């Protein structure tokens, strides 16, 4: 069998403007089929806007978008039929039961009743839901709501699933559970496009795009991002006692140091000149526990996204 790689999503030179405000500025990227693709960025970076364009909820100002071989030229409805979308807002009706919510969504998408029955059964066992179907959504705990919402958004068995901050506001246990579901979906051949604030979630994506003020500033697998952003090791400084802030400022301006950022009580330092650093590390040894650590995605994020503005 020949395996021609067909992209699930192709975006080229996409720009979205709201009046004078540029929400998304000339971005281009592709998502492969079966990939878990993460969108990482702070609030207002343009993640949600991009997702909405890809789901047919927002018209692009300019640029080309192809989702699951469908372009905007074929109509917004053709795109809507191909994708599943789970908004960062909770979109099910609280005063309707799970059964009623599913039936309503299904009827809007013209899913036949026998298909609905089969899909409901599949999806509820997929998310491990065991309560009666006539439970009102408002009576469900937050984590379960999120999973039911996911199930509702993929009732029509879409090829691509867009999840806009799906785990915002749920417990860590529920987040882990939700990510297990996402991975299972990817394993079943679905393409997952997810935005998140959480670094640990971003680590689980196949590739991630970092967005800042409407632009993609980096796009790669998490491991590659770490390697390319930090070719040199990161030094963690753990203060032994109280450190005056002047000392940090002195370190920042030291020839040996490229940058130093605080991480909670600790500091992450990046070396500019290894020889100079050897000397400096001996000098500051009385004040810090010094150790070499692998870069985390958070280091990458801070360096790329926030470092630029500094």
Partner 1 sequence: MNFKFNIKRALSIAKKEQFHIMRDPFTLTMATVLPVLLVLIFGLAIEFNVKDIGLTVHDSDRTFSSRKLVEVFSSSQYFNINPSRGSIVDAINDLDSERSKASLIIEPEFEHNLLAHGNTKAQFVLDGADNSTAGVILGYLGGIQKAANFKLTGTLVKEPIELKTRYLFNPELSSPWFIVPGLAVVVIAILSILLTALTVAREWENGSMELLLSTPVQPLEIIIGKLIPYTVIGLAAVLLVVLVAILGFGIPFAGNFILFGFGSLIFLIACLAQGMLISVLIRTQQLAMQIAMITGLLPSLLMSGFIFPLESMPKYPQNFTSILPSKWFMIISRGIFLKGADFSDLKLPFIGLFLLSAILIITATKKFKKDLEP
Binding site for partner 1 (CB under 8 A): 18, 52, 55-59, 76-77, 80-81, 83, 85, 87, 89-96, 100, 103-105, 107-110, 152-153
* Residue 73: CB minimum distance to partner 1, A: 16
Closest CA to 216 of 7, 6, 14, 8: 14
d(CA 245, CA 259): 15
Q: Provide the terminal-to-terminal Cα distance of the chain, rounded to the nearest Å.
A: 51
CB of 137 to partner 1, least distance (A): 11
Distance from C-alpha of 73 to C-alpha of 91, rounded to nearest angstrom: 28
Q: How far is the CB of 61 from partner 1 (least distance, A)?
A: 11
Contact predicate 14/63, CB 8 Å: yes
The residue among 55 and 202 lying less far from partner 1, judged by its C-beta, is: 55
Least distance in angstroms from the C-beta of 52 to partner 1: 5
Sheet with 21-32, side-by-side order of all strands:
21-32, 7-18, 62-67, 70-71
Residues in the chain: 310
Least Å distance, CB 5 to partner 1, is 27
CB of 284 to partner 1, least distance (A): 49
For residues 49 and 64, give the distance between their C-alpha atoms in angstroms, rounded to a whole number: 15
Give the pair of three-digit tokens for residue 281.
């590390």
Shortest distance in whole angstroms from residue 88 CB to partner 1: 9
| Cβ nearer to partner 1, comparing 91 with 224 | 91
Nearer to partner 1, 36 or 116 (CB): 116
The first and second tokens of residue 241, run together, are 């006692």
CB-nearer residue toward partner 1: 59 or 247: 59
- Residue ranges in the chain assigned as alpha helix (H): 47-54, 76-82, 98-108, 113-126, 142-153, 172-187, 199-203, 222-229, 245-253, 274-284, 297-301
For partner 1, which is the closer residue by CB, 85 or 129?
85
For partner 1, which is the closer residue by CB, 30 or 88?
A: 88
Residues ≥6 apart with Cβ < 8 Å to 174: 142, 143, 144, 146, 147, 167
Asked if 39 and 195 count as a contact pair (C-beta separation under 8 A), the reply is yes
CB neighbour burial string for 129-167, b if at least 16 within 10 angstroms, e if fewer: beeeeeeebeebeebbbbbbbbbbbbbbebbbbbbbbbb
- Kindly state the smallest distance separating residue 49's Cβ from partner 1, in Å: 9
């Amino acid at each position: 069998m020949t395996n021609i790689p067909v992209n699930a999503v192709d975006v080229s030179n996409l720009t979205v403007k709201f009046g004078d405000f540029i929400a998304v500025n000339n971005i281009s990227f592709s998502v492969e089929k079966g990939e878990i693709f993460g969108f990482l960025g702070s609030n207002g970076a343009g993640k949600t806007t991009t997702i909405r364009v890809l789901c047919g909820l927002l018209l692009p100002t300019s640029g080309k978008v192809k989702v699951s071989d469908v372009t905007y030229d074929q109509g917004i409805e053709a795109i809507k039929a191909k994708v599943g979308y789970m908004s960062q807002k909770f979109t099910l009706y609280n005063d309707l039961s799970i059964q009623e919510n599913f039936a309503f969504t299904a009827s809007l998408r013209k899913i036949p009743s026998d298909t609905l029955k089969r899909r409901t059964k599949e999806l509820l066992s997929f998310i491990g839901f065991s309560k009666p179907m006539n439970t009102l959504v408002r009576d469900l705990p937050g984590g379960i709501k999120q999973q039911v919402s996911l199930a509702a958004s993929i009732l029509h068995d879409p090829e691509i699933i867009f999840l806009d901050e799906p785990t915002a506001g749920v417990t860590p246990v529920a987040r882990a559970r939700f990510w297990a579901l996402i991975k299972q979906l990817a394993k079943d051949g679905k393409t997952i496009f997810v935005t998140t604030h959480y670094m640990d979630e971003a680590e689980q994506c196949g590739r991630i795009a970092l967005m800042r003020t409407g632009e993609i500033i980096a796009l790669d697998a998490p491991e590659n991002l770490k390697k390319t952003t930090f070719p040199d090791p990161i030094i963690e400084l753990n203060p032994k006692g109280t450190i005056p802030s002047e000392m940090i400022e002195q370190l920042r301006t030291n020839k040996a140091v490229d940058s130093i950022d605080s991480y909670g009580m600790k500091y992450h330092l990046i070396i500019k000149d290894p020889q100079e650093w050897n000397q400096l590390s001996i000098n500051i040894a009385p004040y810090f526990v010094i150790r070499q650590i692998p870069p985390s995605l958070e280091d990458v994020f801070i360096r790329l996204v926030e470092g630029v503005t500094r």
